[in-house]
Amino acid sequence: MKWLNSRYVVTWPCRLKCHVADPMSVFFCTQSRSSCVCYAWILLLLLLSYNIQAEAETLDLPPVDVDLVGKIRTTNAQQDDTLLDIARRFDIGQDEIVLANPGVDRWLPPAGAEVVIPGRYILPRAERSGIVLNVPEMRLYYFPPSTRDQQAQMLTYPVSIGRMDWTTPIGTTKVLSKSENPSWRPPQSIREEAEASGEPLPEMIPPGPNNPLGNYAIRLARAGYLIHSTNKPFGVGMRVTHGCVRMYPEDIEKFFPMVPVGTSVNIVDQPVKLGWLFDTLYIEVHPPLEEKQQDPSVLVETAADLIYTIQQRRPLVLDRQALREALEKQNGMPVAIGRSVHD
Catalytic residues: 228, 244
* DSSP helix/strand/coil, 2: strand
* DSSP helix/strand/coil, 249: helix
- By DSSP bridging, strand 280-285 and strand 226-228 are unpaired
User: In degrees rounded to 5, what are phi and psi of residue 239?
Assistant: -90, 90
Cβ–Cβ under 8 Å, residues 159 and 240 = no
Helix (H) or strand (E) holding 256: helix 249-258
Cβ–Cβ under 8 Å, residues 129 and 264 = yes
DSSP string, 117-164: EEEEEEPPSS-SSEEEEETTTTEEEEE----TTS--EEEEEE-BEE-T
Distances (CA, A) of 258 to 28, 150, 161, 170, 254: 41, 16, 21, 23, 7
